[in-house]
């Protein structure tokens, strides 16, 4: 039986059957299992990732970093300066997600605002 007929019986393309035959001939039955790649290895070491997570968790220092909250572009610049690794802005977002962070963040407070004044300003309606 030729490959065209065998592929038709198997309900597949002739090229797919050919690829399966080559994989079987090279590695036996184990060659027919799907071999999905695990993706690329992170360019930051686990220690660097932990340090980045600490930086994100503590937040930026306005005097040092010049921002009141982290954006991906700010972290992209920080990673390049501190670790010497350049990432695309989107990849920084993927890295943050892998570290367990969400893209949603609390609105930053003004550094000069008074906490007591905020508490006094809050509306306190009586409970029903």
Q: In the chain, which stretches have pLDDT less than 70? A: 105-106
Neighbours of 94 (CB within 10 A): 13
pTM: 0.58
d(CA 43, CA 48): 9
Q: What is the pLDDT of residue 105?
A: 65
Within this chain, do residues 26 and 50 fall inside the same structural domain, yes or no? no
Within this chain, do residues 22 and 55 fall inside the same structural domain, yes or no? no
Q: What is the pLDDT of residue 34?
A: 86
Contact, 71 vs 90, CB < 8 A?
no
Q: What is the pLDDT of residue 125?
A: 75
- For residue 18, give its domain range: 3-32
d(CA 59, CA 72): 13
Query: Does residue 120 fall inside a structural domain?
Result: no
């Amino acid at each position: 039986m030729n490959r065209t007929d065998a592929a038709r019986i198997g309900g597949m393309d002739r090229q797919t059957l050919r690829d399966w035959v080559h994989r079987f001939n090279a590695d036996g039955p184990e060659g027919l299992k799907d071999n999905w790649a695990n993706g690329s290895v992170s360019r930051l070491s686990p220690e660097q990732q932990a340090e980045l997570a600490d930086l994100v968790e503590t937040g930026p220092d306005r005097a040092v970093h010049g921002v009141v909250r982290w954006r991906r572009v700010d972290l992209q610049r920080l990673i390049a300066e501190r670790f010497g690794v350049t990432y695309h802005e989107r990849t920084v977002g993927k890295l943050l997600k892998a570290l367990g962070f969400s893209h949603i963040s609390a609105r930053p407070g003004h550094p000069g605002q008074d906490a007591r004044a905020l508490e006094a300003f809050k509306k306190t309606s009586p409970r029903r």
